[in-house]
């Protein structure tokens, strides 16, 4: 049954079949692409193409700033966390 989640792993069987048959991990992941995610990706691309170059640059700048803040928050959490045992 292709595309039906396996009962014990929660991973779609088409992914497992694709990976087990010797395909690369990327090919296996492509076997389980979501129509909803693909439509969202296409909508995002269309929205991006409607932006002016200045708007695209500002969006990229905001994205980079948010990613830097997220990275820094992770570093601060790691620094504040008690040391891990080996």
Write a three-state SS string for 20-51: HCCCCHHHHHHCCCCHHHHHHHHHHHHHHHHC
Chain CA centroid to CA 80, Å: 27
Torsion of the alpha carbons at 59, 62, 68 and 73, rounded to the nearest 10: -130
Q: Note whether residue 68 is domain-resident.
A: yes
What average pLDDT does the segment 56-73 reach? 96
Q: Domain tally for the chain?
A: 1
pTM for the full model? 0.49
Q: Note whether residue 54 is domain-resident.
A: yes
Q: Note whether residue 10 is domain-resident.
A: no
Q: Note whether residue 39 is domain-resident.
A: yes
Burial of 23 (0-12, 13-18, 19+ CB in 10 A): middle
- In tens, the pLDDT along 26-48 reads 776 676 678 898 899 999 899 98
* Residue-number span of the structural domain to which 59 is assigned: 35-80
């Amino acid at each position: 049954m292709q595309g039906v989640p396996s009962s014990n792993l929660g991973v779609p069987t088409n992914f497992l079949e694709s990976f087990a048959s010797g395909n690369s991990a990327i090919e296996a992941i492509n076997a389980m692409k979501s129509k909803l995610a693909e439509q969202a990706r296409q909508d995002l691309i269309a929205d991006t193409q409607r932006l002016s170059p200045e708007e695209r640059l500002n969006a990229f700048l905001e994205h980079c700033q948010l990613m830097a803040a997220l990275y820094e928050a992770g570093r601060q959490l790691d620094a504040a966390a008690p040391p891990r045992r080996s």
